Amino acid sequence: MTTDNTSGSADKGSDAPRQPQSDTTPDADQDTTRTPHRTPHPPMSTAPLKVLVATRRTQGSRPGDSIVASVADGDLVDFASMCARQPRNCGCTQSFVALHNRFVTTTAEVVERPITVEDYAHALTASIRGTSASSTLDKRDRAVAEDLLRIAALWPVGTVVERDGKDVVVRVMGLGPTDMSAEFQPGDRVRFVSTTDPELYSLLRPGALGTVAVTDDIGTIHINWDDGSCLGMILHDGTDVIERTD
């Protein structure tokens, strides 16, 4: 199934309008790994909200995967505009763009953020139209923000998604938020046990020891490993497993 209007975001500075989805709840037998033709309205009046952010999780598992070095894990994303001809092998049909610099990533993750739909819309206006985040909100950008929030609301926190043209497709289904990260405090000594991430960008191996530095706002536990690595651990969806040594 395809979603008609999740893609086609305007380039930075463009005034091309983008239309929101219709308000129709998907059938019970809907394929939950792809965006439905029409997405439901989640409650969007209060924070926190589920949003899509850039992620390096699962990068490299699909031909053509990429994430620009200046795009940080956790950056809010929008949909890259598709070429007029929309060729299937064009990177624009597979890409999200980070709001802060409009550079691309082919992977995004569902997280919760303490923001409102208005906050999200203002960030879109600032990104797309090159204005300050405090400028007058463009109504078209609020519609796009609502559309992005509807899509993120479809899946649990920790879900990693990719684009396939006008579809958004699940790569890894998240298990939702947990309190696992709260079990580890700065200064705790930990041991690396395992990971399910096929692309572990580190020489870290099971048994490695390290010291917890901090837990960020999306639940990643940043650790100073004894071997010099600073690889963060993602516990809430089972990607990584660590344990205390004391």
Tell me, yes or no, whether 151 lies in a domain. yes
The CATH number of residue 215's host domain is: 2.30.30.90
Residues 227 and 204 placed together within one structural domain of the fold: yes
Q: What is the residue range of 71's domain?
A: 49-172
Residue 64 and residue 194: Cα distance in Å, rounded? Answer: 27
Per-residue pLDDT of the chain (246 residues), as tens digits, is 333 333 333 333 333 333 333 333 344 455 566 654 344 444 455 667 899 999 988 898 888 899 888 898 889 999 988 776 656 667 788 899 999 899 999 999 998 888 888 888 888 888 887 766 556 777 888 888 899 999 999 998 889 999 988 889 999 887 665 556 667 889 999 999 887 665 665 678 889 999 999 887 667 888 999 988 888 887 766 677 888 887
Q: Using an 8 Å Cβ cutoff, are 180 and 236 in contact?
A: yes
Q: Using an 8 Å Cβ cutoff, are 67 and 59 in contact?
A: yes
Is the whole model's pTM more than 0.75, yes or no?
no
Q: Phi and psi (nearest 5°) for 187?
A: 100, -15
Residues 56 and 162 placed together within one structural domain of the fold: yes
**Strand ranges inside 84-157, DSSP E:** 96-98, 104-105, 108-113
Residues 133 and 54 placed together within one structural domain of the fold: yes
Tell me how many domains the chain contains: 2
Q: Using an 8 Å Cβ cutoff, are 155 and 110 in contact?
A: yes
Residues 163 and 103 placed together within one structural domain of the fold: yes
Domain end point (choices 114, 138, 172): 172
